[in-house]
Amino acid sequence: MTITAHDTIVEEINIQASAECVFDALVEPEQRIQWWGVAGKFQATSMQSDLRPGGAWAMRGTAHGDKVFTIRGEYRVVERPRLLEFTWTKDDEPVTIVRFELTDVDGATTVRLTHSGLTERLRNSYQGWPWLLQLLRGHVESR
């Protein structure tokens, strides 16, 4: 499901795993770099995380083979295992908000991602969320 408003992208996916497992894949640096991207296209190579409201996080990697990127932000809400919200900024872009809501029913988890505060240019460049959520699902379901 993709819902796009003027400044928001909303994606939803079902993952055959507990919300705890999905939450861990989102916040544990060693797991995040395992599933975030595909080598040669867009790949996270390191992540630092101070997982608490007000704590900073940063993820670095490469895009298109050799272009280095850094995405960073601050955790705003951390409610394990159902809610994760943080700021997101890449290079010199404006700060936006990413929110993951996890709903666990009988061991399967619905993940609802909302990325808000986007300019039109950013909304167009962050259309990769469905692809990243598929990578998340593949990672979590194979564990």
Q: How does pLDDT run across 12-64, given as a tens digit for each residue? A: 999 999 999 999 999 999 999 999 988 778 899 999 999 999 999 999 999 88
pLDDT, position 85: 98
Report which of residues 122 and 103 the model is more confident about.
103
Please state whether 65 falls in left (phi above 0), alpha (psi between -120 and 50) or beta.
left
Please count the structural domains in the chain. 1
Provide the CATH number for the domain around residue 118.
3.30.530.20
The answer to whether position 71 is within a domain reads: no
d(CA 90, CA 54): 18
Dihedral angle of Cα 130, 132, 134, 136, to the nearest 10 degrees: -140
The answer to whether position 69 is within a domain reads: no
User: Can you read off the two tokens belonging to residue 125?
Assistant: 């460049």
Range of the domain at 137: 2-36+76-141
The answer to whether position 18 is within a domain reads: yes
Q: What is the per-residue pLDDT across 62-116, written as a single tens digit (0 to 9) for each? A: 988 789 999 999 999 999 999 999 999 988 889 999 999 999 999 999 999 999 9
Contact 110, 102 (CB under 8 A): yes
The answer to whether position 90 is within a domain reads: yes
The answer to whether position 45 is within a domain reads: no
The answer to whether position 59 is within a domain reads: no
